[in-house]
Structure 1
Amino acid sequence: QEERQRNKEREGEVESSSAVNEEMPVEKILEAEMAVEQKTELHADGSSGGSSPNDPVTNICQAADKQLFTLVEWAKRIPHFSELALDDQVILLRAGWNELLIASFSHRSISVKDGILLATGLHVHRNSAHSAGVGAIFDRAHNAEV
């Protein structure tokens, strides 16, 4: 009898996780990611024509600004997000923007050694981050990546 009860509990777990997949299909999340990534590549190609300042802090701030804009575009494409009240959307984005940014450039930087690749296509090396005064932030983010 205990065995049957455990099997019922396991079957219920499978049912609940498959219901989540129906409400939040991985394909839709991937679709949102690809659409935003494609937009990011188009903007990076069009705006990286030598007019970028050499100041690392300015470059990092511009990349963060661009990534935050992209994050909002991505969230709008996630199933059910747009159905939330605008206040709730803002609360969610404010609560999770930093983790989402770190996840984004960490994913983008998987193949980069001792550096991160920002949304603008800018590669920030560890030494540059330290000389710009953002070394502690860089190290925390880079450690989260590993």
Structure 2
Amino acid sequence: VAVRAKQAGCQMTIALVNDPTLAPLIAPLDIDAYINPRATTVSSILRHIRHGRVRAVYSIGDAEAEMIEAQVLSTSPLSGRLIRDIEFPEGVLVGAVMKGERVLKPTGDLRIDSGDVIALFTMSKDVPEVERLLQVSIDFF
């Protein structure tokens, strides 16, 4: 339907794609965006079951990896530390840090503070360790 809409002159098209193996066909067909209901549902569920103050979770691939967006709490092991001093698991990358309204490129010299929002890319096997880093300690209560 999206391809026919584009051919009919629609400027922007969005397709519903239930089979993720069809995703590579989106660009050649000139479809602007697509929605995978399974991935959307999984991401929504993950957001509610992850520990810490998680704002969003996106499943990547066939649940092989995740992008986790979370707010750093004052009791988090991340709070008050430079990125280079944090022992992230090997499969974890810091994608961005948001301080207030500013989005910053992460560098080793950037300090993570309470209230910052961080975007972490993690392999699924490393999620428990990432949750530990984001978790609220008992001191919070």
TM-score (norm 2): 0.29
* Structure (1 or 2) with the larger CA radius of gyration: 1
| Greater fraction strand | 2
Please report the TM-score for the alignment, with normalisation by the length of structure 1. 0.28
